[in-house]
Amino acid sequence: MKLIIDDADTQAIRRLIDIYPIDGVTTNPSILAKAGRPPFEVLKEIRSIIGPDLELHAQVVANDSTGMVADAHRIVDELGPHTFPKVPSVPQGFKAMKTLVAEGVKVTATAIYTPLQGFLAAKAGASYAAPYINRIDNMGYNGVQVAKTIHDIFRANDLDCEVLAASFKNSQQVLELAQYGIGAATLGSPIIDGLVKNQAITAAVEVFNADFQGLVGAGRTMADC
C-alpha cells in the first residue's frame, strides 16, 4: 500500500518527506484554500519538495467535461510527469476521464462514496479511485468496507485501477486497509504522525537509553564507545 500525504502545508510536507517513506502528496480545493496562497504557487512548491518522481494529485474544479479536461491539462503542464489530475466521479467527470485517458493522462477519480462510482471510474480508465472513508462513516455506512468492496470489484473484473483511500480519522482504519492490500492511502499529517505516536513506544526507547547511559556515561551513544 502506498503512503501518501493529504495536505498542502508545505512545512508539514517537508518534515514528513524527510522522516517517512512517502510515495506522494494529494491535495484538493479545500486543502489548497487553507494554504491561503495562489494554488499553482503552492502546488509548484510541493512539487519542488517531493521531487519529480513522486506522485502529486491536484483536483480540477470546472463543472463540465470540457472545462475539466482544460483544468487537467493545465495541472499536468504546470506540475509535470507523475501528476494526477483528480476528477470527480460524476457524469461529466466520467466523460472527462475517458477523454483524458485517451490522451495518455493519468487520472485519479475522486468524490467516491459508493462502489459503483468506483466501478464506473475504473471502466473510464482512471488509475486511482478515491473513496472517502470517514465521510462515508459519517453518512452511517462503513467506509473501510466500501473501500474493500471497490478493491474486490477491480480485481474480480480485471480492471487496471487501484483504490486510493482518503478521509481518515484514525490509524485503525489505515491498518485494516493495509492488511487488505489496497493500492494506496492518503493521510493528513496528524494521522501519519499518529501511526507511531504511542506512549508505550516512547517509554521503551527512554528506558533503553537510560540503561545504556548508566553503563557508559550520560550523553554517550554507540558511536562514542
Active site residues: 86
C-alpha gyration radius of the chain: 20
Burial of 128 (0-12, 13-18, 19+ CB in 10 A): buried
Quickly count: other Cβ atoms within 10 Å of residue 45's Cβ: 16
The grid cell for 123 is: 471502466
HEC sequence for the chain: CEEEEECCCHHHHHHHHHHCCCCEEECCHHHHHHHCCCHHHHHHHHHHHHCCCCEEEEECCCCCHHHHHHHHHHHHHHHCCCEEEEEECCHHHHHHHHHHHHCCCCCEEEEECCHHHHHHHHHCCCCEEEEEHHHHHHCCCCHHHHHHHHHHHHHHCCCCCEEEEECCCCHHHHHHHHHHCCCEEEECHHHHHHCCCCHHHHHHHHHHHHHHHHHHCCCCCHHHC
